[in-house]
Amino acid sequence: MEDMLSQGEDREPSRWPRRLGVIGAAVLVLVLGLVYLGRAGHSRSPAAAASTPASASTTEPARIAGPDLPWAGSVQLPVAGSQPAWFSPATGVSARIGGLPADSAGYQFIRADGGWVVRAGSGGELASGDASVPPLPVWFLADGARSATRIGTANQVTPAANAGAVWLTSYPPSSDPDTAARTAREVSVSGVPLGRPVKLLTGYSIYQATDRGLLLTPVSQRTGPQADKLWNPDDQTVSQNFDAVLAASPAEIAWTPRCAATCHVQVLNLATGRQTAIELPAGSFAEGAAFSPSGGLLGLQVMSDRGGGPSTRLEVASTASGRLTALPGTSVGSDTVVDFGWPTVGDSLVAEFIFPGTVQLASWHPGASVLTVAVVRPGQVQTSLVVG
């Protein structure tokens, strides 16, 4: 019998890497303002939604303040454009990644244990809406490797629960992407099949592979909000349902129950069954989240409407206690694009802030009272940098 863990009525269905490119400053203000207002209307309490100012804040900084501390020389971030490269924040130098041919459509980089899964094409699954698009090539790029290894083709790729493997999902060209019979198969990062092909539930794709099965997400919400399903591919049974999932890892799932007086983020530890509630400040809601490699921390992008208008900031929560730590200097106006993740082996969060006219990188690790901040020079890195 399915176990409904939450009853939220609305959700953010995006399952793809957050960064799809840099938009012009004027477009950013309009689009992000609309996203903010639309998200706020169903994610916060009615009182908070009613008090939302119509204009963006004019009191937020135009850049991140922080000391000019040296970045670790070993930190390298992918640049996903038409010719992928490694970018070193410590030196500002980029080095081309071998094994990935130049492609005007660009690439997707998805963080996996020990490296990155790379897929041809800059959009999500059939992002163009053209159902005739065939499965596209997929590679694995180990941390710091000079070259990527091709492992197969797929319409969608998801890191496996165990290190050294991925799930490749495909379906026939010219089929309806909403109802297509999706077939998934786990393969090693060298391309060796690790099990039999699995036919997924109709209308669902893989959000995240976990230690307790595959977390499946609806392909479409056209018929109304639908829950994500924790599904066992061996006996094809659903054990739990989740609404409004924010983030998932092999061991944990975070989601947002419907807001009351304040908004919360719930975290479930799949191994122990323990749930931790993260209470957000009044008038705030979580717009995005990402688990750290250890699973002990959850990075959160928190939206709020304090003071002169809507703003966004980064906070980190302990998945054991629920305690929040605000990252210093990361409260910015809603006309700023913020992308963040945990792109290295350790629990170091890296964030990219795209202000009109300026792009900055910031790094934080547990216990740090300040951020390491660097300005990214104009060029391909600015438009295609991947941080998680």
Q: How far is CA 188 from CA 83, 163, 253, in A?
A: 25, 9, 24
Mind listing the pLDDT tens digit for each residue in 126-172? 333 344 567 899 999 999 899 999 999 998 999 999 999 999 999 87
Distance of CA 254 to the CA centre of its chain: 12
pLDDT at 35 over 80: no
Higher pLDDT, 334 or 141: 141
Predicted pLDDT at 377: 87
Write a three-state SS string for the chain. CCEECCCCCCCCCCCCCCCCCCCCHHHHHHHHHHHHHHHHHHHCCHHHHHCCCCCCCCCCCCCCCCCCCCCCCCCCEEECCCCCEEECCCCCCEEECECCCCCCCCEEEEEECCEEEEEECCCCCCCCCCCCCCCEEEEEEECCCCECEEEEEECEEEECCCCCEEEEEECCCCCCCCCCCCEEEEEECCCCECCCCEECCCCEEEEEEECCEEEEEECCCCCCCCCEEEEECCCCEEEEEECCEEEECCCEEEECCCCCCCCEEEEEECCCCCEEEEECCCCEEEEEEEECCCCCEEEEEEEECCCCCCEEEEEEEECCCCCEEECCCCCEECCCEEEEECCCCCCCEEEEEEECCEEEEEEECCCCCCCEEEECCCCHHHHHECCC
pLDDT at 60 over 80: no
Q: Output phi, psi for 383, to 5 deg.
A: -90, -10
CATH number of 3-384: 2.130.10
Mean pLDDT of 33-55: 31
Compute, in degrees rounded to 10, the torsion defined by CA atoms 37, 41, 47, 50: 40
pLDDT at 293 over 60: yes
Q: d(Cα 153, Cα 170) in Å, to the nearest integer?
A: 8
Mean pLDDT of 28-47: 32
Percent of the chain with pLDDT over 90: 53
Mind listing the pLDDT tens digit for each residue in 173-229? 766 767 778 899 999 999 999 999 999 998 899 999 999 999 999 987 666 678 999
Predicted pLDDT at 34: 33
pLDDT at 292 over 90: yes
Least trusted range by pLDDT, from 149-163, 189-203, 285-299, 326-340: 326-340
